[in-house]
Amino acid sequence: MTLNLTGKHLIAGEWVDGAGTFVSHPATGESRTYALGSAALVDRAFKAAEEAFVSYGYSTREERAKFLEAIAEEIDARGEAITAIGSQETGLPEARLQGERGRTTGQLKLFAEHIRKGDYLDRRFDAALPDRQPLPRPDIRLMQRPIGPVGVFGASNFPLAFSTAGGDTASALAAGCPVVVKGHEAHPGTSEIVAQAIDAAIKRTGVHPGVFSLVQGGNRETGEAICLHPLTRAVGFTGSLAGGRALFDLCVRRPEPIPFFGELGSVNPMFLLPNAISARGEALAKGWAGSLTMGAGQFCTNPGIAIITEGAEADAFLETAKTALASVNAQTMLTDGIANAYRAGADKIAATEGVQAVLTTTCDLRNATPYLFATTGENWLANHVLGEEVFGPLGILVTVKDEAEMVKLAESFVGQLTTTLHMDDADAPTAKKLLPILERKSGRVLANGFPTGVEVCDAMVHGGPYPATTNFGATSVGTMAIRRFLRPVSYQNIPVALLPEDLQQ
């Protein structure tokens, strides 16, 4: 297949060079050269975005819905090319990329359907009470309004669903906000082809070209410029705790602080309750191994920690998990940096006092196989390093003495994207004690499932308390993600003809 790659940035409908170049490091195939990002390009993109907001921010819901649907159609039209370059750059299998493309286009269509209904606007109306005593009440109406240009950082582990046209971009565009995307260095070619699809949708629907720009990365300057630009109204990010926290700090230290919606990672603990283990411990161990190694463990919802009551059933669970994990072939990790961090994280855990290495492995360059460790609840509580995310197929089994220690462990966790209860009906008393704790720790609580599948729907929350995210009241998946890029505005005694069309009724 011929890939029509320019290696350039897309700034408001124009493909432009950078001040320099950087070289990609694909998992397979030849490296390519791409234009380097810069603060000057970010400035140009945000000025175009602000100009676009004058029209796009006041476009109709139907116009925006058609634009989102056009993007989805243009992405699908380039499906073969996206799969080809995505597989070369990331090492992800074709089936995974095809599925992720379906998720990406599916959420664009879902957001289009959602904004057509109008419920997300949260429209409210308090009619005037001119005769109220002692003071009359004015006519007051409220509606959610778009905030303006949004900066989005592409994610390394989801080159489609969390990157150029992913959830952050789709939800901002649905809200009426232009977007400037910083492409991720792990998949610049994939980013460019998706940007080509968005550009084609812009031309098809006639929206202002400044509604979308792609500035490739290659340096820290580009990301910092997106956070600090005076026209940036919010930032969406999916990535590491260290990188996300650095960008978050930039956003809040600005002369005018802005919201930073960072999804920063999680260990996603599972609590394996006694009756569930007695009834189906072998199946749960195999299921954990499968979830732990899905996509080489490079999911932010990867269930890295399993908590179980000590005893013969816990020993059998550990042995079954070890056997299942040992049979998993080496998988290619997304980048050299992720592979290096995986090795370093495993070494750090192995060197922690009181930790048993159950299954050791090797990570040869970008090819990784699983690690499995075991420790006690007492040792877990004494070593906070064991609760830090290791991005990859690494699991820790924590054995506790009894229910009381399991509850204590639940209380010890910091913010998580997910927590899981594996339980049977007879486990309900213990689950009832754990659930109020777990719902304070995470954005999504599961029973009898594995968290690595994140459904894109109205009721989904993909977020959680810090350090899972920087904003516990938001989600980056599902239709509620649109709310991040809106703010409520009250209109008092404004003549109806001057009100936004959606508030005139």
Q: Answer yes or no: do 94 and 241 share one domain.
A: yes
445 DSSP β-pair partners: 419
Portion of the chain with pLDDT greater than 90, in percent: 92
Q: Answer yes or no: do 481 and 380 share one domain.
A: no
Residue 498 DSSP class: G
Q: Answer yes or no: do 150 and 276 share one domain.
A: no
Q: What is the pLDDT of residue 29?
A: 85
Integer angstrom CA distances of residue 46 from 1, 6, 139, 151, 315: 34, 22, 36, 9, 57
pLDDT, the chain, mean = 95
The pair of structure tokens assigned to 87 is: 């597989």
Which tens digits make up the pLDDT trace of 34-62?
A: 999 999 999 999 999 999 999 999 999 99
Q: What is the pLDDT of residue 362?
A: 66
Mean pLDDT of 70-81: 97
- If we measure between CA atoms, which residue out of 307, 266, 328, 286 comes closest to residue 470? 266
Q: Answer yes or no: do 204 and 281 share one domain.
A: no
Mean pLDDT of 408-432: 98
* Identity of residue 106: G
Mean pLDDT of 64-86: 97
Q: So which residues are the catalytic ones? A: 263, 300
In this structure, is residue 463 part of a structural domain?
Answer: no
> Is a pLDDT exceeding 70 seen at residue 177?
yes
Q: What is the pLDDT of residue 361?
A: 75
* CA–CA gap between residue 215 and residue 200 (Å, rounded): 17
* CA–CA gap between residue 356 and residue 386 (Å, rounded): 12
What CATH number corresponds to the domain at position 53?
3.40.605.10
Q: What is the pLDDT of residue 255?
A: 96
> Is a pLDDT exceeding 60 seen at residue 1?
no
Q: pLDDT category, 7, cuts 50, 70, 90?
A: very high
In this structure, is residue 48 part of a structural domain?
Answer: yes
Q: Answer yes or no: do 108 and 201 share one domain.
A: yes
Which tens digits make up the pLDDT trace of 354-404?
A: 999 999 876 677 888 999 999 999 999 999 999 999 999 999 999 999 999
Mean pLDDT of 338-345: 92
Q: Answer yes or no: do 280 and 209 share one domain.
A: no
Q: Is 52 left (phi over 0), alpha (psi -120 to 50) or beta?
A: alpha
Q: Answer yes or no: do 158 and 290 share one domain.
A: no
What CATH number corresponds to the domain at position 418?
3.40.309.10
In this structure, is residue 224 part of a structural domain?
Answer: yes
In this structure, is residue 225 part of a structural domain?
Answer: yes
* CA–CA gap between residue 479 and residue 464 (Å, rounded): 16
- Contact between 328 and 393 under an 8 Å Cβ cutoff? The reply is yes
Which tens digits make up the pLDDT trace of 102-129?
A: 999 999 999 999 999 999 999 999 999 9
Q: Answer yes or no: do 219 and 302 share one domain.
A: no
Name the domain boundary from 402, 417, 447: 447
Q: What is the pLDDT of residue 367?
A: 87
Q: What is the pLDDT of residue 85?
A: 95
In this structure, is residue 29 part of a structural domain?
Answer: no
* CA–CA gap between residue 119 and residue 439 (Å, rounded): 26
Q: Answer yes or no: do 220 and 240 share one domain.
A: yes
> Is a pLDDT exceeding 80 seen at residue 3?
no
- Contact between 3 and 81 under an 8 Å Cβ cutoff? The reply is yes
Q: pLDDT category, 207, cuts 50, 70, 90?
A: very high
Q: Answer yes or no: do 304 and 286 share one domain.
A: yes
Q: Answer yes or no: do 377 and 429 share one domain.
A: yes
Q: What is the pLDDT of residue 103?
A: 96
Which tens digits make up the pLDDT trace of 438-485?
A: 999 999 999 999 999 899 999 999 999 999 999 999 999 999 999 999
Q: Residue 314 is part of which domain span?
A: 269-447
In this structure, is residue 184 part of a structural domain?
Answer: yes
Q: pLDDT category, 79, cuts 50, 70, 90?
A: very high
Mean pLDDT of 223-237: 98
Q: What is the pLDDT of residue 19?
A: 84
Q: What is the pLDDT of residue 2?
A: 60
Q: Answer yes or no: do 255 and 274 share one domain.
A: no
Portion of the chain with pLDDT greater than 70, in percent: 99
User: How many domains does the chain contain in total?
Assistant: 2
In this structure, is residue 456 part of a structural domain?
Answer: no
Name the domain boundary from 447, 477, 495: 447
Please report where in the chains the tokens 């308090």 appear, as a residue: 126
In this structure, is residue 383 part of a structural domain?
Answer: yes
Q: Is 399 helix (H, G, I), strand (E, B) or coil?
A: strand
* CA–CA gap between residue 463 and residue 85 (Å, rounded): 30
270-272 vs 33-35, strand pairing mode: unpaired
- Contact between 175 and 233 under an 8 Å Cβ cutoff? The reply is no
> Is a pLDDT exceeding 90 seen at residue 218?
no
Q: What is the pLDDT of residue 365?
A: 75
Rounded (10°) CA dihedral 48, 53, 59, 64: 70
Q: What is the pLDDT of residue 453?
A: 87
Which tens digits make up the pLDDT trace of 288-308?
A: 999 999 999 999 999 999 999
Please report where in the chains the tokens 């913010």 appear, as a residue: 415
